[in-house]
Amino acid sequence: MKTRFRFLAILAAATLAAGCSLMGPSPKPAPMADASTAATLVLYRVHLGDPGDDFTNHNVYLDGASVGRLNANEELLLKVAPGVHELSVRPETKLIGSARQEPLKYSLQLTPGSTRHLRYRTAAGPARMDAATGAVYADRELGPVSEQDYANRR
């Protein structure tokens, strides 16, 4: 029994040291866009409420390829090939990479040289309610914003 446990521990350590994951295949890299025709995609995250949820990565995928991670009040600037794309943000538990919630998906069509701004908003606790209007925000929301809204985000 001890030998079997040691063997499994060595196998797990060797797998992790080799860069492989026990949780499944790693995401494929995002394709590169031609700089002369690329569209610009700006994705930023706003968090409403207590930033105490330190155990979640908000991973961003474009057409199923990993393109980065969004922490509170950060942004990603992506150069993307024109055409129809699917952007998704999936909250995952840090360290083990297991999904905490279903990914939010957004389909977008980009034209050459265009710029699109998207906001990923997360809300927690009492900050989910707007004090002025009484509106209740969803836990997570992904959607387009105007260039002016993007400029006034802070």
Give the 3-state DSSP-derived string for 52-113, with helices as H, strands as E and coil as C: CCCCEEEEEEECCEEEEECCCCCEEEEEECCEEEEEEEEEEECCCCCECCCCEEEEEEECCC
Its CATH class, for the domain covering 27-151, is mainly beta
**Are the C-beta atoms of residues 72 and 58 closer than 8 Å to each other?**
no
Tell me what pLDDT residue 143 has.
Answer: 93
pLDDT per residue rounded down to tens, the chain (154 residues): 566 555 445 545 555 444 444 444 444 445 556 777 899 999 999 888 877 666 788 899 999 999 999 988 899 999 999 999 999 999 887 777 666 778 999 999 999 999 999 999 888 888 788 888 888 888 889 999 999 999 988 6
Tell me what pLDDT residue 49 has.
Answer: 80
pTM of the model: 0.72
The H or E element containing residue 135 is none
Give the closest residue to 142 by CA, choosing from 108, 114, 112.
108
Tell me what pLDDT residue 129 has.
Answer: 84
Query: Domain boundaries in the chain?
Result: 27-151
Tell me what pLDDT residue 10 has.
Answer: 59
